[in-house]
Amino acid sequence: MISFHKRDCFERAKELVERKETVALRYACLELRQCIESICYSKLKTYKKVVPESEFQEWLPKRVYEFLLEMEPTADQSYSVKIYSEDRNGDRDKLILQDNHETLTLKEIKKIYNKLGYYLHTPTISKQNSYLSASQKLQTTLEKFIKRIEPIVNTTFDMRLGKTVSFECEDCKHKIYHNADTLKVGKAIRCLKENCGMMYVCEEEIDGKYKFKPNQFVIDCECGESIFINYYKLKVPSHISCDKCKTKYNIDKHWAYNKET
Ligand SMILES: [Zn+2]
Ligand SMILES: [Zn+2]
């Protein structure tokens, strides 16, 4: 079975580039793209506790990095880590681990990933000439990418650094997590649970704690209960009943127009 581990993809790409054969270079593009995907996914796996796995299984690297940057503003920066043991008094004792963590920035990911992708498809007839001239530079381009990606492939550890806050989704009852440092009043947050997608808006901070209000259409039932409609789940027509008094409501969508001013 083919391994999608970053090191295996990287080694295969390197070997293909070293052959210096035009035909082999396109295959090297594929291996390098899969190497980048593997780097992104291994970081994402450190968030298993935060995001339901069923949700992120379908994410492409761009989506993964956007999520990581939202959760952890420093996720695209390289860093060094030193871990010490504690002595009996809780003071720093022996150095247990010292390592460097290298990563790619979101901008780099987009640039390299898209550039590699360019060579994986048959160009349209109008673009075949420019494709051929770009292919002539492919050997040098790939050598540059290999040099840039190598330290990241050699990084042997990954960790979650973001400080997270969480609250329970009113619809699916699962926890929604968000980075504490990137929260601000008015920010929209979506429940990441598969088949839920309920939207919330971050409201004022009281004693250092934010409140999260469903940002959805609300039916004020005559019994006093508020029924939140999850737009993400809404079909046309939809029917909903009040949990408290069981009154049924039909929901319909109407198109509207007004003159542009
Ligand atoms: Zn939910
Ligand atoms: Zn009711």
Question: In whole angstroms, what is the distance from residue 79 CA to residue 101 CA?
Answer: 5
- The domains of the chain are located at 6-73+106-153, 164-214, 218-251
What ligand is nearest to the CA atom of residue 243?
2
Quick one: average pLDDT of 25-47? 88
Kindly indicate the confidence band of residue 15, based on its pLDDT and cuts at 50, 70 and 90: very high
Q: For 190-209, write each residue's pLDDT tens digit.
A: 887 767 888 899 887 777 77
Contact 148, 65 (CB under 8 A): no
What ligand is nearest to the CA atom of residue 175?
1
Q: Which helix (H) or strand (E) holds 211?
A: strand 209-214
Query: 230 alpha carbon to ligand 2 midpoint, in Å?
Result: 17
Phi, psi of 85 (to 5 degrees): -85, 165
Contact 36, 64 (CB under 8 A): no
What ligand is nearest to the CA atom of residue 226?
2
What ligand is nearest to the CA atom of residue 176?
1
Query: 189 alpha carbon to ligand 1 midpoint, in Å?
Result: 11
Question: In whole angstroms, what is the distance from residue 149 CA to residue 153 CA?
Answer: 6
Question: In whole angstroms, what is the distance from residue 253 CA to residue 261 CA?
Answer: 25
pTM (2 d.p.) = 0.62
